[in-house]
Amino acid sequence: MSAIRHALSTSREDDFAQWYQEVISEAEMAEESGVRGCMVIKPWGYGIWERIQRLMDDRIKAAGVSNCYFPLFIPLSYFAKEAEHVEGFAKEMAVVTHHRLIADGKGGLIPDPEAKLEEPLIVRPTSETVIGAAMSRWIQSWRDLPLLTNQWANVVRWEMRTRMFLRTSEFLWQEGHTAHADRDDAMNETLRALEMYRGFAEQVLAMPVIAGEKPENERFPGAVATYSIEAMMQDGKALQAGTSHYLGTGFAEASGIQYQDREGTQQYAHTTSWGVSTRLIGGLIMTHGDDDGLRVPPAVAPHQIVILPMLRENDEDEALLAYCEELHAAIAAQHALGEPIRVLLDKRPGKATQKRWAWVKKGAPLILEIGGRDAAGGQVSMLRRDRLWNDKAKANIQAMPREDFIARAAAELGDIQSSLFTEAEAKRDANIARASSFAEVEAFFSEDKRYPGWVEVEWARPTGAELEQVVQKLKALKLTMRNIPLDAEPVDGDCIFTGRPAVERIYVARAY
Amino acid sequence: MSAIRHALSTSREDDFAQWYQEVISEAEMAEESGVRGCMVIKPWGYGIWERIQRLMDDRIKAAGVSNCYFPLFIPLSYFAKEAEHVEGFAKEMAVVTHHRLIADGKGGLIPDPEAKLEEPLIVRPTSETVIGAAMSRWIQSWRDLPLLTNQWANVVRWEMRTRMFLRTSEFLWQEGHTAHADRDDAMNETLRALEMYRGFAEQVLAMPVIAGEKPENERFPGAVATYSIEAMMQDGKALQAGTSHYLGTGFAEASGIQYQDREGTQQYAHTTSWGVSTRLIGGLIMTHGDDDGLRVPPAVAPHQIVILPMLRENDEDEALLAYCEELHAAIAAQHALGEPIRVLLDKRPGKATQKRWAWVKKGAPLILEIGGRDAAGGQVSMLRRDRLWNDKAKANIQAMPREDFIARAAAELGDIQSSLFTEAEAKRDANIARASSFAEVEAFFSEDKRYPGWVEVEWARPTGAELEQVVQKLKALKLTMRNIPLDAEPVDGDCIFTGRPAVERIYVARAY
């Protein structure tokens, strides 16, 4: 039996980081732009983002949230106000200081010294401050609450070490910002957004996640509580894939978001914020990619089915193309996963096998190769991306009557969607262990295992200096606490850090 | 007969500029952000932009164009290269010079002098240069052409005098950038995009436009030919609402976009670019707004039908709401203009008449007021935004059986869409005159007419110094040449500027 010859030159087992870069390059997802820390997102990568946007936006709108657009630039003074309140204030930001270029007299251009801004502007790293200022204008009475806003935008955080999709200086995201009359309503919204993200990750991205609260040391600066969804990548590391924050009244106090309650008293609103970003695409790659490239879940695949006519540049091409056009129309008339099937007829010049492997690496869920014999016999030759190889180490192509394929296309796509989830969930669950002592944690991560996974431990939720000790102890092993799962089993032991009775469970892992 | 009491305090006739600001404010479209030249786009304004995006994007994708995303920042050196080539190079741009803030020791923050960028970055005013650099990487062979890309993005041009939606420092747009093997193919794409914009403006925005070529003096810097769609606002001024440029090989030469042709020779590609922006919303307001606020064409209305239950905070409210919920569901199950009807049940607290006028000012196409009597009698009371007043100067509310409304809802929306177009077209056509001498042009614009409109003249397409004289002569009357219509009647006279035989027709107008 011959060995499989995979489409990528680096396997996940060889070098996960290099494999990740190779997938991004070979699947034509993105590339370096020549601008420090910023990437160019290419059509296949951006197409996946557009699918994420559309399906997430449907969920955001269904929750009664309205999209708005706020300025890219934030005056420096807004941050000064925030810096007073917030200790962990991040300072790595792009600063606009001039508004004009002039010739330098040597054939080049320089910022015009005459056009220096009186107050520098910051390219938004997040929009809490500028949205807070708008909310303070929009909210007067309890009747104006809740105020539920969201924006889809680019944001910039000056990152020293960047990695495509996971950490880039500019990235795309949505940021929800809401204001509420009281803690309960704000907390409900915080958890609604978290649950929206959990459902989206699992149902749309086929990426199993743990929804839970971040420990105190990992809170968003200024937040009263931060929640996250955490996914396990195939190298065992955790990826924080979305966050939702209950901000208490702190941001409302800083921005002056006040309302008159039913009794006529002025009150500060309770606010929340929640976001997911193009980082989700990094998560998608590291969850579903294999040694042949990316595998895109059908729900977010820009093309779910790609038809490849095996053109020979001869007289038979015309009949072959006519057959493929008709097949394309018949498939496009079908629905899968609640939407019309997205099918592409790829008529570009090029060798059929090269084109096949290009689509394999991109991870199109279903590839249909149509040769002259298929057309003449009313057949299609189907390749399912998630079952790529047969037991002879060949591409697992199945021939079937055209009608049979059309009848089962939606079911195949649905099955790929659920199979990818089941496979990822099984992998994740196999790589989570419970540890009932710190020694067990150490043992788990010092095992001779390339990609160790996560441990679930019980703890007493220490705070202050005691928490800091825990953080440092874990840091020495390159570990972090991920989150405190919301749907955990009850505790039944002692805190592995303090020895006191445990109050909850928490995941410990290496992380992106 | 009593006079109509309009919902706005300023009429178009009184003061068009102030009326425009009042519509934007009263329709809750946008507001000043506190950041110079940048606006906050509020849910109703942004909802219209989302509709524009979705419907335009469908057309862009149907033309085989792929969306990508390119960096917000462009290194200064890219512009230096362009500045060499382009005379009319615009220099008013936001310049990023630092990447960190530090405390100034006095409780404030300043750009960290230690974190000065080696090379300043420009916030993109347009993306030709950075997309050109990508195209030079992506294109090697004739097989890679045409390369058709588009991005939806924010761009920044430092404007001294800003006006919401029409001219803001930051605005949202799409920019198409394509590369082709030869002039013909590139010119076809340029005109395809222009025709896409024309069809979109007329069919979707119900805004009649003239598609044509800009005169040489109005070309995009570096373009071989620039085309535009021009719309007439209700004050008679022209609004350039979209542009499409054939760039020849100049940008390809600057960016090194070369390909090997079928014969193996290296050739420069011919490129195009085309764009529309949030300016379209300004055009929408000034085309369809009236003295009661905005009127949104149903195709782009975030809510096409708004149901207003006349709640009385008593026991009858429950039955009333149940009736409205059922009505909402029945309407939402209908289709209009090729999509499910977008209907909102507005249950917010507040007086019914106040809510009615708020929706009138926003310009929701159909308002259904439902009182207890309507609910009991199985009726609805319908108000059509484009036929707001009856001949007694009262709100033109029509009662009808619920079933009748449901049966005709789609037709009403279709009729509003076409009525708005017909009305705008008639207004425009009534305000275009032909002038066969410059004296007639002067007379037309010096008439005692508040909002004069456009004149169509014949000219000999002068160039160089002769063209500059024409430009200056018009400038003295605050006039500009708008465009040379593509579907004009043949010329039959002499050039009004030079006296030579005319070669084509051109529109002359005041403009935004």
Q: What is the CATH number of the domain that holds A311?
A: 3.40.50.800
Q: Taking CB atoms and an 8 Å limit, are B130 and A68 in contact across chains?
A: no
Q: Given a cut of 80, is residue A90 above it in pLDDT?
A: no
Q: Which of A69, A91, A99 sits opposite B101 (nearest CB)?
A: A91
Phi, psi torsion values for A181, nearest 5 degrees: -75, -35
A236 lies in some domain: yes
Tell me which chain B residue has its CA closest to the CA of residue A46.
B68
Q: Taking CB atoms and an 8 Å limit, are B170 and A92 in contact across chains?
A: no
Shared-domain flag, residues A172 and A136: yes
Q: Given a cut of 80, is residue B447 above it in pLDDT?
A: no
| ipTM entry | 0.96
Kindly report the nearest CA distance between residue A42 and chain B, in angstroms: 5
Q: Taking CB atoms and an 8 Å limit, are B120 and A111 in contact across chains?
A: yes
Kindly report the nearest CA distance between residue A116 and chain B, in angstroms: 10
pLDDT score for B158: 92
Q: Taking CB atoms and an 8 Å limit, are B112 and A101 in contact across chains?
A: no
Tell me which chain B residue has its CA closest to the CA of residue A98.
B95
Q: Which residues from chain B sit within 8 angstroms of residue A69, using beta carbons?
A: 40-41, 46, 49, 172
Shared-domain flag, residues A257 and A311: no
Q: Given a cut of 90, is residue A447 above it in pLDDT?
A: no
Q: What is the mean pLDDT of chain B?
A: 95
Q: What is the CATH number of the domain that holds B243?
A: 3.30.930.10
Residues near A96 by beta carbon (within 8 Å), at least 6 away in sequence = A73, A117, A120, A121, A122, A123, B94, B95, B96, B97, B123
Give, rounded to a whole angstrom, the gap between the first and last alpha carbons of chain A.
38
> pLDDT digit string (tens) for A455-482?
999 999 999 999 999 999 999 999 999 9
Number of domains in chain A: 3
Shared-domain flag, residues A327 and A449: no
Comparing A159-163, A480-484, B5-9, which segment has the lowest mean pLDDT?
A159-163
Q: Which residues from chain A sit within 8 angstroms of residue B170, using beta carbons?
A: 71-73
Give CA separation, B361 vs B153, B295, B352, B354, in Å.
Answer: 29, 8, 14, 11
Q: Which of A79, A98, A122 sits opposite B97 (nearest CB)?
A: A98
> pLDDT digit string (tens) for A277-301?
999 999 999 999 999 999 999 999 9
CA distance A472 to A457: 17
Shared-domain flag, residues A62 and A126: yes
Q: Taking CB atoms and an 8 Å limit, are B71 and A100 in contact across chains?
A: no
Phi, psi torsion values for A52, nearest 5 degrees: -60, -45
Shared-domain flag, residues B76 and B152: yes
Q: Which residues from chain A sit within 8 angstroms of residue B71, using beta carbons?
A: 33, 35, 38-40, 170
Chain centroid to CA A345: how far?
A: 29
Q: Taking CB atoms and an 8 Å limit, are B111 and A98 in contact across chains?
A: no
Domain boundaries, position A439 = 432-509
Kindly report the nearest CA distance between residue B446 and chain A, in angstroms: 38
Q: Taking CB atoms and an 8 Å limit, are B74 and A35 in contact across chains?
A: yes
Whether the pTM exceeds 0.90: the reply is yes
Query: What average pLDDT does range B259-274 have in this prediction?
Result: 98
Shared-domain flag, residues A120 and A197: yes
Q: Which residues from chain A sit within 8 angstroms of residue B29, using beta carbons?
A: none
Q: Taking CB atoms and an 8 Å limit, are B33 and A143 in contact across chains?
A: no
Domain boundary among B350, B382, B414: B414
Kindly report the nearest CA distance between residue A156 and chain B, in angstroms: 9
Neighbours of B71 (CB within 10 A): 26
Give the 3-state secondary structure of A131-181: HHHHHHHHCCEHHHCCEEEEEEEEEECCCCCCECCCECCEEEEEEEEEEEC
Q: Taking CB atoms and an 8 Å limit, are A108 and B80 in contact across chains?
A: yes
pLDDT score for B257: 98
CA distance B353 to B395: 11
Q: Taking CB atoms and an 8 Å limit, are B69 and A172 in contact across chains?
A: yes
Give the 3-state secondary structure of B70-110: CCCEEEHHHHHHHHHHCCCCCCCCCEEEECCEEECCCCCEE
Q: Taking CB atoms and an 8 Å limit, are B172 and A47 in contact across chains?
A: no
B427 lies in some domain: no
- Residue B184, both tokens: 């013909």
Kindly report the nearest CA distance between residue B95 and chain A, in angstroms: 5
pLDDT score for B105: 79
Give CA separation, A283 vs A164, A286, A385, A424, B88, in Å.
Answer: 11, 5, 19, 12, 45
Q: Which of A43, A73, A100 sits opposite B91 (nearest CB)?
A: A100
Q: Which of A68, A108, A122 sits opposite B46 (nearest CB)?
A: A68
B117 lies in some domain: no
Orientation of helix A183-199 relative to helix A43-62, angle to 10°: 140
B48 lies in some domain: yes
Q: Given a cut of 80, is residue B166 above it in pLDDT?
A: yes
Kindly report the nearest CA distance between residue A435 and chain B, in angstroms: 42
CA distance B336 to B333: 10
Shared-domain flag, residues B160 and B234: yes
Chain centroid to CA A437: how far?
A: 33
A454 lies in some domain: yes
Shared-domain flag, residues A452 and A365: no
A55 lies in some domain: yes
pLDDT band at B86 (very low <50, low <70, confident <90, very high): low
Shared-domain flag, residues A168 and A312: no
> pLDDT digit string (tens) for A361-393?
999 999 999 999 999 999 999 999 999 999 999
Q: Given a cut of 80, is residue B87 above it in pLDDT?
A: no
Domain boundary among A288, A317, A344: A288
Shared-domain flag, residues B219 and B245: yes
> pLDDT digit string (tens) for A62-87?
999 999 999 999 999 988 776 665 55
A360 lies in some domain: yes
Give CA separation, B485 vs A185, B216, B233, B455, B476, in Å.
Answer: 58, 14, 18, 12, 24
Kindly report the nearest CA distance between residue A41 and chain B, in angstroms: 5
B4 lies in some domain: no
Shared-domain flag, residues A188 and A49: yes
Shared-domain flag, residues B54 and B199: yes
pLDDT band at B104 (very low <50, low <70, confident <90, very high): confident
Q: Which of A71, A112, A143 sits opposite B170 (nearest CB)?
A: A71
Question: Is B437 within 8 Å of B496 (Cβ atoms)?
Answer: yes
Best B69, B79, B144 residue to mutate vs chain A (most A CBs within 10 Å): B69
* Interface A-B: count of C-beta contacts within 8 A: 194
Q: Which residues from chain A sit within 8 angstroms of residue B91, using beta carbons?
A: 100-102, 109, 112
